Amino acid sequence: MNDKLKIPYPVIVEGKYDKLRLSSVIEAQIIATDGFGIFKNHERAALLRALARKTPLIVLTDPDGAGRLIRSHISGILPKDKIICLHIPKIEGKEKRKKEASAEGFLGVEGVERELIYNLFLPYTNPDMTRNIEENPLSPAILCRDGLTGAPDSQAKRDAVGAVFGLPSGMNAKAFLAAIKCVASYDEYITALKSSKAFEDS
């Protein structure tokens, strides 16, 4: 169980420590809601909606009241048939980095054993979808070639291409690449690149 699982679907978690924990077990696009920040973060909500138009999203939150509220909010902004909810069991305990246990006394995503997370995600290692993402040749080098990184107007160009697929503006290069590979094929990316007004004078 040393190898990471390749998960073809974006995964939504609550915070950065949950994201770090999952990153040690799976290879996937992992998006943190920043806890209740998702309630007011319109750009993050727009990203999730754009991804949901192309692929299911896995939601994994803590087994407490806050986790249920966040799952409920996500269920309200995304189509029900595009959400895969995973649940960790209620295990009493305290995360190592915290001085005290949570209000309800259960371990969150960051605190559970690696094997538990591995087994949760194992059914979602879809070889066909994973292969499609891996075969998409979009890469940091291609974004640089096309002026979407490394130039003064790269942000504007990423925003223009991303807008074609409903992605929010202001995404950094790493986040943009992860998202665009989920929502567009290479040919669709090239078409968007050619049709974008941001490139007319390039």
Which of 12-21, 39-48, 170-179 reaches the highest mean pLDDT? 12-21
Q: Is the pLDDT of residue 1 over 70?
A: no
What is the reported pLDDT for 115? 92
Which has more pLDDT, 65 or 197? 65
Distance separating alpha carbons of residues 101 and 93, to the nearest angstrom: 7
What is the reported pLDDT for 21? 93
Q: Is the pLDDT of residue 143 over 90?
A: yes
Q: Is the pLDDT of residue 198 over 60?
A: no
For residue 22, give the amino acid letter: L
Domains and CATH numbers, the chain: 5-131 (3.40.1360.10), 136-196 (no CATH)
pLDDT (tens digit per residue) in 78-95: 998 899 998 888 888 777
| Closest listed residue to residue 192, CA positions, set 165, 171, 174, 167 | 165
The residue-averaged pLDDT of 15-40 equals: 90
- Dihedral in degrees, nearest 10, Cα atoms 142, 185, 16, 85: -170
Which has more pLDDT, 190 or 106? 190
pLDDT (tens digit per residue) in 97-130: 776 666 777 888 888 899 999 998 988 887 666 5
**pLDDT > 70: percent of the chain:** 90
Enumerate the H helices of 53-94 as residue ranges: 65-77
Enumerate the H helices of the chain as residue ranges: 16-23, 42-52, 65-77, 114-121, 127-135, 140-145, 154-164, 173-183, 186-195
The residue-averaged pLDDT of 36-44 equals: 86
Average predicted confidence (pLDDT) for the chain: 86
| Closest listed residue to residue 45, CA positions, set 15, 37, 16 | 37
Distance separating alpha carbons of residues 188 and 165, to the nearest angstrom: 9
Q: Is the pLDDT of residue 134 over 70?
A: no
Which has more pLDDT, 127 or 143? 143
The model's pTM is 0.76
Strand 57-61: give its sheet, edge to edge.
30-32, 11-13, 57-61, 83-87
What is the reported pLDDT for 99? 65
Q: Is the pLDDT of residue 202 over 60?
A: no
Which has more pLDDT, 189 or 2? 189
